[in-house]
Amino acid sequence: MDTKQIASHFLEAAEILNQFIENKSNFENIKLAGDKMIESIREGGKVISCGNGGSMSDAMHFAEEMTGRFRENRGPIPAIAISDPSHITCISNDYGYEFIFSRFVESIGRKGDVLLAISTSGNSENVLNAVKIAKEKGMYVVALTGKSGGKLAEIADLEIRAPKSPWADRVQEIHIKIIHSLIDYIETNL
């Protein structure tokens, strides 16, 4: 791999980021998502986040920044990522991998909570199942997607979609920018 190939990753990432920036409705959607999360937290609710692979890492990153700190010292903000290996392996073994997130939402989610559902394709069955349960419980669903948005775009209350890219890593790079912007918005306005 020469330096031109390495540089191409950064140039491609910059192009995708610029496409996201050009669509001003993305910023309105981030604000709306932040407002819904703040409303939930002020009413005693929490944010539950989920995703697979790199998206699970993003879900965990979101939750730890909320319960810990982002840029300023402040009290913890109630958020939890569905990432406990014992829960995931138990549910996978007893019910199937497609239920790892929905069983968790069913157990601790409540009306007024927010589900942050992350899927680069928008078609992860276990994420879709979590959304269905969340909606049944009266939770608000914010979806971070990519590509066409998939089925997740159709069932979420609010979708924030990364510009179309053939690569999941480009989608995830936009997702982490969205997550950091959400956390900053919540931290600043809560």
Average pLDDT, integer, range 148-167: 94
| Per-residue confidence (pLDDT) for residue 175, from 0 to 100 | 98
| Per-residue confidence (pLDDT) for residue 164, from 0 to 100 | 87
Answer yes or no: are the C-beta atoms of 27 and 102 closer than 8 Å. Answer: no
Q: What is the rounded distance in angstroms from the CA atom of residue 44 to the CA atom of residue 88?
A: 26
Q: 1 falls in which pLDDT band (50, 70, 90)? A: low
Number of structural domains the chain divides into? 1
| Per-residue confidence (pLDDT) for residue 144, from 0 to 100 | 98
| Per-residue confidence (pLDDT) for residue 165, from 0 to 100 | 84
In a domain, 57, yes or no: yes
pLDDT tens per residue across span 74-118: 999 999 999 999 999 999 999 999 999 999 999 999 999 999 999
Q: What is the DSSP letter of 166?
A: S
- Give me the CATH number covering residue 143: 3.40.50.10490
- Centre a 10 Å sphere on the Cβ of residue 13 and count the other Cβ atoms it contains: 16
In a domain, 113, yes or no: yes
This prediction's pTM: 0.96
In a domain, 5, yes or no: no
Percent over 90 (pLDDT), the chain: 95
pLDDT tens per residue across span 40-70: 999 999 999 999 999 999 999 999 999 999 9
